[in-house]
Amino acid sequence: MLKFSKANAKTEALKQVEELKPYLADKRKIYSLDLLSGYSCPFAEKCLSKATVDKATGKRKIKDGKKTEFRCFSASQEVQYTNVYNSRKHNFDMLRGSSQLEMNRMLYDALPSDAGIVRIHVAGDFFSRDYMLAWMTLAELNPNTLFYAYTKSLKYWLELEDYYCSIDNFVLTASYGGRNDELIESQNLRFAQVVFSEAEANKLGLEIDHDDSHAARPSLKNQSFALLLHGTQPKGTDAATALKALKGVGSYSRKKLTTV
């Protein structure tokens, strides 16, 4: 069976968001379902990173893509934590190569009965059109559960746009840094953009989402936003320098964690 994970520190903050409280009534909880970073992200580019395994030693190390500008935080997690790597690999291995109907059944059977909010992929992305369709179908069958996701699989989103627009409890955010970024502007997609500072977000005219509330709230389904850089970054890069400057700011400071 697929393995759903319980809320992490960031998604746990969604409990304080007034608009989302009805989804968490009766002690319902927040979950995510995650896949192997990079391997399940067919359109990733600027954030492309993977946890690779040395066949001789079994040890894992990070491998960045040729055009990586900032390292994927979830790929770093998969290098550091064996149980995280194994869980995400298990899910990816079960889903890839399966038909849409098979994925429908696997997701439906594995969804926790007390799921109130589900972040689709703290790690990973929609690796096929059928896989995205399976999630949309799951959302339609569970109207009292909120599903939300960031994605660079913009072609699949646009192919399923009519169906997506008919599902009120399914919220997508286009994630800048992929191979089809031009579709975000040309198709007027709601987006999130990683920034290296609050000043950069202000220059772009974007609010910073510190707690996933912009990503999850259905009322903000058409409002774009920024995300502060996070996760371990390669030494000597602009991203590493920016990360040092961000200590104590926004998502890096509990005192400044927003709950709007």
CB proximity list for 65: less than 8 A, separation 6 or greater: 38, 44, 45, 48, 49
Six-digit token pair at 101?
């109907």
pLDDT of residue 250: 47
- Segment 191-219 mean pLDDT: 87
Residues found in the chain: 260
Q: Which residues contact 75 (CB under 8 A, 6 or more apart)?
A: 37, 38, 49, 50, 51, 62, 123
d(C-alpha 191, C-alpha 174), whole Å: 4
Q: CA quadruple 199, 202, 204, 206: dihedral positive or negative?
A: positive
pLDDT at 249 over 60: no
Assign 216 a pLDDT band (cuts: 50, 70, 90): very high
Dihedrals φ, ψ of 156, to 5°? Answer: -65, -40
Q: Alpha-carbon distance 136 to 171, whole Å?
A: 10
What amino acid occupies position 123?
A
Contact (Cβ atoms closer than 8 angstroms) between residue 91 and residue 2: yes
Per-residue pLDDT at 202: 83
Instruction: Give φ, ψ of 172 to 5 degrees.
Output: -110, 150
When mean pLDDT is compared across 7-11, 56-60, 155-159, 222-226, the lowest value belongs to 7-11
Q: In whole angstroms, give the CA distance from residue 30 to residue 5.
A: 9
How far is the C-alpha of 165 from the C-alpha of 161, rounded, in Å? 6
d(CA 151, CA 191): 9
Report field, pTM of the whole predicted structure over 0.85: yes
Angle at 174 between CA 169 and CA 177, to 5 degrees: 155
Per-residue confidence at 200, pLDDT binned at 50, 70, 90?
confident
- Band of the pLDDT at 105, cuts 50, 70, 90? very high
Count of C-beta atoms within a 10 Å radius of residue 216: 25
pLDDT for residue 226: 92
124-145, pLDDT tens digit by residue? 999 999 999 999 999 999 999 9
Residue 248, pLDDT > 70, answer no
Q: Any residues with CB less than 8 A from the CB of 7 and at least 6 apart, and which?
A: 14, 29, 30, 31, 32
pLDDT band at 161 (very low <50, low <70, confident <90, very high): very high
